[in-house]
Amino acid sequence: MAALRTLGPKAAAALDEELMSTGAYSIDQLMELAGLAVSQAMFALSPPQKTPKILVACGPGNNGGDGLVAARHLYHFGYQPTMYFPKQTKNELYQRLRTQLEHLKVPFTDDFIGAAGKSDYIIDAIFGFSFSGEVREPFPAVIRALAEGEVPVLAVDAPSSWNIEDGPPKDGPGKGYNPHALVSMTAPKPLVKWFKGRHFVGGRFVSQEIAEKYGFDVPPYQGSDQVVEIGSHGERL
């Protein structure tokens, strides 16, 4: 079966822009749908009875926002999330997402490595399609720990530190990082060519017309699922 078509970083950013302008979506809505999809991918990988303790690492951009939303849904699914969110922007949306978690008494930690050692699963919501260049502080040690750690990782949209077009870094903290699972938001990015783990697509709200305009495929979602599992490189299963 042919692989789903991929969406490069420029097209992915343009799609988000269109969804938020002529598409009439707000960023809050897109992030809520993305975070819900992440939480459903986590549930499909391993239910809370098996892996209750989830460490959610959030970066400063919208990839991190997806992680904040996912953690709230995971809490309601019965998991015990812990947040690592070292670089919070002043943006009001992120403050609200954080407050919602604080009301649920979801803990925030500054000690990623200590928390990782006590976790059953890690969600990597550090960088998505706007990552570029060398990993800057405070993230190199975190990315190194993801690359070298034993705890399985679910990456949101991209394994953080991977180049969106060219895949895994040849050196630096992300060298050798190949997470256990990936959930691509809306469509796989070109980096999936190098990905080896379990792979889901989420974002069940985009019309066929928009998918055609941007040159990607709407995957075969089932029932009321917000995610569908596909092959590592985007093949239909």
Ligand X SMILES: NC(=O)C1=CN([C@@H]2O[C@H](COP(=O)(O)OP(=O)(O)OC[C@H]3O[C@@H](n4cnc5c(N)ncnc54)[C@H](OP(=O)(O)O)[C@@H]3O)[C@@H](O)[C@H]2O)[C@H](O)CC1
User: Site size for ligand X, by CB under 6 A?
Assistant: 28
- For the bound state, the minimum distance from the C-beta of residue 2 to K ion, rounded and expressed in Å, comes to 26
Annotated binding site for K(+): 63, 124, 160
- For the bound state, the minimum distance from the C-beta of residue 114 to ligand X, rounded and expressed in Å, comes to 22
- For the bound state, the minimum distance from the C-beta of residue 50 to ligand X, rounded and expressed in Å, comes to 25
Q: Are 1 and 233 in contact (CB under 8 A)?
A: no
Interaction partner, residue 70 (K ion, ligand X, none; CB < 5-8 Å by kind): none
- 184 binds K ion, rule: CB under 5 A: no
In sequence order, what E strands does 20-152 have?
Answer: 53-58, 80-84, 108-109, 121-125
Contact pattern from residue 178 through residue 197 relative to ligand X, giving x for each residue in contact according to CB under 6 A and a dash for the rest: -------xx-----------
- 57 binds K ion, rule: CB under 5 A: no
194 phi/psi in degrees, rounded to 5 = -100, 0
Q: Give the distance between the most distant pair of CA atoms in the chain.
A: 46
Alpha carbon separation from 216 to 32, 66, 188, 212, 236 (Å, rounded): 22, 21, 9, 6, 13
- 122 binds ligand X, rule: CB under 6 A: no
3-state helix, strand, coil in the chain (%, to 5): 35, 15, 45
- 101 binds ligand X, rule: CB under 6 A: no
Which residue number, 37 or 156, has a Cβ lying nearer to K ion? Answer: 156
CA neighbours within 13 Å on the CB side: how many for 61?
13
- 62 binds ligand X, rule: CB under 6 A: yes
Which residues pair with residue 154 across a beta bridge? 123, 181
Two tokens, residue 184 = 């691509």
- 6 binds ligand X, rule: CB under 6 A: no
Residues that bind ligand X (CB under 6 A): 16, 30-31, 34, 59-66, 127-136, 139, 156-157, 185-186, 203
